[in-house]
Amino acid sequence: MILNVSNLYKTYTRRGNEFNAVEDVEFFAWSGDFSVVIGESGSGKSTLLSLLAGINHPTKGTVIFNGFDFANLSDAEISAIRNDKIGYVPQESVFLPHFTVLENILLPRAIRDGKKIEAYGLADTTDIDIISKLETLGIAHLVNEMPAELSGGELKRASIVRALVNKPDIIIADEPTSNLDEANGKIVFDLLADLARSGTSVLVATHDPHGFKYGDRVYTMHKGRLLPSGESDYGGL
């Protein structure tokens, strides 16, 4: 089991009132899983994904990754897991503006190895088949551009490739097909499905109706609670 999440809460205070963005969530992910979380805006999907990716700290509950409880790990240990074992695709595409797209894509490996970012040429990436993924997603010709030159959809696809650079055990993608047209959205989901088939665990939060059919398990997030599909009054399914 890659992820074992139990009794997870994340509480925020808004205008003096506490509310649970994530409430009593139980979740499991195994190698090769393709899990999809749907839910309306503000339901807590992004917060949940950030907690599972070790980016955010839960108010209560446990997140156990590959047998390691995040609560018992140091910042360096969690950072190493985030870098090497978790491929996180944030909802908003963020890039370092003064590095090329390729340098941005290879940034996780540079952080892991402590090497100069520019030292990684495209030729160095063959071991993780980055070139084919760039080609699959239709952005191989853009890798030497600066991020500002790319459209939102192109950046989104680049951020997906970036999440794959260190061959993570799990991909956690927050709205990976936002900014993408239907055809490119399908390509992204196909790629994620391929990854799941090759043993990588995939967890996706999406509004994209095409994404639902890729999930081995589909969950609905509603007011902070994660419910198996069919148990919500959310009309997405």
Partner 1 sequence: MNKTDVNLIVENYLRNPFRSLGLSLLIALLASVLLVGGLLSLSLSKGLDRLSSRLGADVIVFPQGSEVDDQTILLQGDFKYAYLPQGSLEFIRGLDDVEVATPQYFLTSLSSSCCDQKVWIVGFDPSSDFVIQPWIREVFEDKLVKGTIVVGSEISVGEKKTVKFFDREYPVAAKLEPIGNGLDQAVFVDVATLADIRGAAKTKGVRFDSSSVGYSSILIKLRPDSDTERLSREIYAHFDGLQIFSRKDLFSGLEKPANVMQVVVWIVVAFFLVIAAAAIVISFSLSTRERKREYALLRILGSTRRRLKILVLGEALLVSAVGTYIGLLFSSVFFFTFKIWLGEHIDIPFIVPENAEIAAVYAVIILLLHLIGPVVVYGVANKVSEIDAYVALREVEH
The residue within the footprint of partner 1, chosen from 6, 19, 26, 119 (CB under 8 A), is: 119
Residue 161 lies near partner 1 (rule: CB under 8 A) = no
Instruction: Tell me which amino acid residue 15 is.
Output: R
User: Which window, 105-113, 123-131, 137-145, 227-235, contacts partner 1 (CB under 8 A)?
Assistant: 105-113
Residue 234 lies near partner 1 (rule: CB under 8 A) = no
The alpha carbon torsion through 88, 92, 97, 102 (nearest 10 deg) reads 40
Residue 98 lies near partner 1 (rule: CB under 8 A) = yes
> E strands within the chain?
3-14, 17-29, 34-38, 60-65, 68-69, 86-89, 170-174, 201-205, 217-222, 225-228
Closest CA to 43 of 13, 10, 65: 10
Residue 99 lies near partner 1 (rule: CB under 8 A) = yes
Residue 47 lies near partner 1 (rule: CB under 8 A) = yes
Residue 90 lies near partner 1 (rule: CB under 8 A) = yes
The residue within the footprint of partner 1, chosen from 108, 176, 185, 224 (CB under 8 A), is: 108
> What is the C-alpha to C-alpha distance for residues 142 and 158, in angstroms, rounded to an integer?
9
Closest approach of partner 1 to the CB of residue 164, in Å: 12
The residue within the footprint of partner 1, chosen from 5, 8, 29, 53 (CB under 8 A), is: 53
Q: At what angle do helices 152-164 and 182-197 cross, to 10 degrees?
A: 0
Closest approach of partner 1 to the CB of residue 96, in Å: 6
The residue within the footprint of partner 1, chosen from 91, 136, 179, 229 (CB under 8 A), is: 91
Nearer to partner 1, 12 or 31 (CB): 12
Pairing of strands 34-38, 170-174: unpaired
Nearer to partner 1, 16 or 97 (CB): 97
Closest approach of partner 1 to the CB of residue 229, in Å: 26
Angle at 91 between CA 132 and CA 180, to 5 degrees: 55
List, in sequence order, every residue forming a beta bridge with 4; answer none if it has no partner: 28, 64
User: Which H or E element spans position 108?
Assistant: helix 107-113
Backbone angles phi, psi at 12, to 5 degrees: -120, 165
Closest approach of partner 1 to the CB of residue 176, in Å: 15
Query: Which residues contact partner 1 (rule: CB under 8 A)?
Result: 46-47, 50, 53, 55-56, 75-76, 79-80, 82-84, 88, 90-92, 94-99, 107-108, 110-119, 162
